[in-house]
Amino acid sequence: MLIITCSLFGNEWKFTTSAVLQLSPVNQPSPSISADENHLAPMTEINIPIPFGQFIAQYVIPLNFGDSPVFQNANISLVAGPALTPITLDTQFGVTFTPSPLCNIGLAATAGTGWTLLGHDGLAQYDASVNTYKPLNTFTDWKYSFITQVNFQFDFGILFPGDWTHIVTTANYIVSYEASTAANQHESWLWAGKEDVNGFQHAGNVMLGYMMPFKFKLIGLTAGWKGHFHGDDFGNYNISYDGSFVEISLGLHSIIEFSEKSKLIIAAVVPSRRGFIEESNITDAFISKTKAGREWFFNGITIQWLYSF
């Protein structure tokens, strides 16, 4: 990630690019034996590493709420930029209000389109007549979302000053509406390999970490979740597919700081997804299957390089 900053009449521009590489295995779904079973999907092979990048332009407007440390560096930020993967192009525009180092509130909108590459669809629509997903038209059909997000963070080093007292916690909660322009209500679509339907969703993430005063800067444990508020968004598939199922993920997050300008972020995540009674293949349309239990799988290692000047 490249971070460039400049000031203009007290306000500040920040331009950010990021380069990310994901090393992940193929996790072949295995059938569930019972309705409440938890099991681990077997790894069958290794995917070709998938790189992706992002550019963000951020305009920061400082706010003065007094000299109290609680309101230090208060600001409003306007954020916009694209994110590119081998099969999708996503864009975003948002505004973030940061009244305190302890929290911020954000509003954003995104719009993205996709294409097919080596048999992988970026954006596709479910065709029930043949039980498969068919690619949609690039730059004609779009996946879009409206997002509200609240973030909290705290460093216990504030209460207990010292080099080895920085236990940090972060938490965020997201409410979003996500949809495809090609889909009607209850119709399933595919975005970057993940099935979904139009509807309101909730998501969140928490982290407990420890910051250290040397190059290995931070290590932390994370937990996240995401799901639809209403299973009825899936229409006739709600009962068999369990439309209100909440995906849960557990992970390990670390930061290596080579210098003040150069950092490396490494994350390993084990998410969960619906388990199914039927025999399945990773390329199947799961919307038509019968959910049974929860299947965990290793999502690989994500490496992100950050460089600032």
pLDDT, position 208: 97
pTM above 0.85, yes or no: yes
Total structural domains within the chain: 1
- Secondary structure (3-state) at 240: helix
pLDDT at site 24: 87
b (16+ CB within 10 A) / e for 186-204: bbbbbbbeebbbbbebebe
pLDDT at 254: 96
What is the pLDDT at residue 1? 32
Q: What is the pLDDT of residue 298?
A: 94
- In eight-state DSSP terms, residue 285 is -
pLDDT of residue 10: 52
- For the chain (309 residues), the mean pLDDT of every run of 10, in chain order, is 37 82 85 80 82 88 85 91 94 95 96 93 94 95 98 92 92 98 96 96 97 92 98 96 97 91 90 91 86 93 81
User: Which pLDDT value is given to residue 31?
Assistant: 82
Residue 81 structural domain: 2-308
**pLDDT for res 4:** 33
CB 266 within 8 Å of CB 303? yes
CATH number assigned to the domain comprising residue 147: 2.40.160.40
Residue 210 · residue 168 · CB < 8 Å: yes
